[in-house]
Amino acid sequence: MENQSARPAPNPTPTQAPPSHGGYDMKSTPPPVAATAAISTAQLLNYILRAAAVVLTFIAVVVMGAAKQTATEEAVDPFTGDTVTATLGKAKSTTYSAFAYFIVANVVVLAYSMISLAMSFINKTGSSGFLEMVLTMADVVVMGLLFTSNGAASAIILVAEHGQLVAEHGQQRFYWRKICNYVSGFCASVKAAIVLSMFASVAFLLLVLLRLILLHKNNAPAQC
């Protein structure tokens, strides 16, 4: 009994590491669920704003292009005493250079909005940084184009609504007439088109701000 051979000591059971969740150490680095959600939200906002720009510019072009009205004025015939309608003229958007510029600018932005929306769908993962930079720079350009065309059209419609003193020579004064008193439907259509185009320009402004926010978050230093 004393010469019994000593049995070898059993190997200690190795300590197993606690299972990780999705390959991430919960104590060191949390899974980027929030980052993924933020990217998805940003892409969704990008699609919505570009689609809104397509719809708004399309309707603005149609409304402005179709804006026209014949100015008439009723008068009493001094010989017969009957009321007659006299035609003073015809207001049409394409006859004004500012309104023509508005239509051309919105057509250009409409075409760009459709192309950029398609390119955003192609680059939905945001993997091409060069494409994102090109789209952001183009967004700034078309936003400026919309603001200038809206400003030019707004200046003309304000003169048409309130009139303006053009020149003064002694006791003689020359004014732009308040044509909206005679073609109120025409002026209403022009105003509606300008408002729609302004909303489109705001959509591009929000797109630029969204891109700046994403760049700030991506370049922000990591917090310990």
- Where are the chain's structural domains? 48-65+72-163+175-218
Q: For the chain, how many residues are written?
A: 224
Of 57, 39, 43, the residue nearest 207 (C-alpha): 43
Of 117, 111, 181, the residue nearest 142 (C-alpha): 111
What is the band of 91 on the pLDDT scale with cuts at 50, 70, 90? confident
pTM of the model: 0.72
Q: What is the pLDDT of residue 197?
A: 97
144/123: higher pLDDT: 144
28/74: higher pLDDT: 74
